[in-house]
Amino acid sequence: MTKKWCITAGVALYLAMAGCSNNPFYPHAQVIVTKISSLDEKAGSGIVQTFSTTGSTATTTTSTTTPIFKVVYTYNNPVIKLENTKGLPRVIYNKAISIYTIEGKTLPPKETTLTITLLSGGTFDGTIPILDNDADVRNSVYPGDSPVKMAQGSVDVTLVGRDDNGYEIRTSFFTNLKFTSDFGNVSDVSDIIGGLK
């Protein structure tokens, strides 16, 4: 059998080549993305950096104290809904390929291992765990845990898998990203840069 790729993007189906038109005797799966949202509907997809004060260190020579801060990251991964056409083969996705653009700069593609199974006529409604598996994205926005007022970006994600008839299935979606810092119980933001541990 000649290897074929079948690609879906957004809510529409695109075929990679003329030879990928569906064979009624040996069909490929047809998957569409029907919804794109986030773990945090209000904040949208992205990363939230949160600071809190965890204590202080004393300086004996000047009798002053320097606050110590803790930084925690919350990853609001994209949430999508997929639908596989009834009567067509089951699909198992095993990876996601993500291409991020942050403040106009495009990062190298990043591959994330995952498992999503779509039965014939079935749906998947869940999280695509890409942000918390990519330290390069976090470090490009918050180098050295530095805070940001707000940064924006986007990500193109392609889910890659194979259906039960052996066809490779690629399903793509796009979403915007937002990166912010929350200063929590920190009273003097100017202390943060020198007090991070």
What residue segments make up the domains of the chain, in order of their start? 5-195
What backbone phi and psi angles, to 5 degrees, belong to 149?
-70, -55
Contact 13, 22 (CB under 8 A): no
Architecture of domain 5-195: Sandwich (2.60)
71-115 pLDDT tens trace? 899 999 999 999 999 999 999 999 999 999 999 999 999 999 999
pLDDT at 104: 94
Cα radius of gyration rounded to whole Å, the chain: 22
Give, in order, the Cα–Cα distances in Å from 153 to each of 74, 163, 175.
Answer: 16, 32, 9
pLDDT at 70: 84
CB-hemisphere CA count at 13 Å for 182?
A: 12
Contact 171, 33 (CB under 8 A): yes
25-39 pLDDT tens trace? 889 999 999 999 998
C-alpha span between 87 and 47 (Å, rounded):
39
Whole-model pTM over 0.85: no
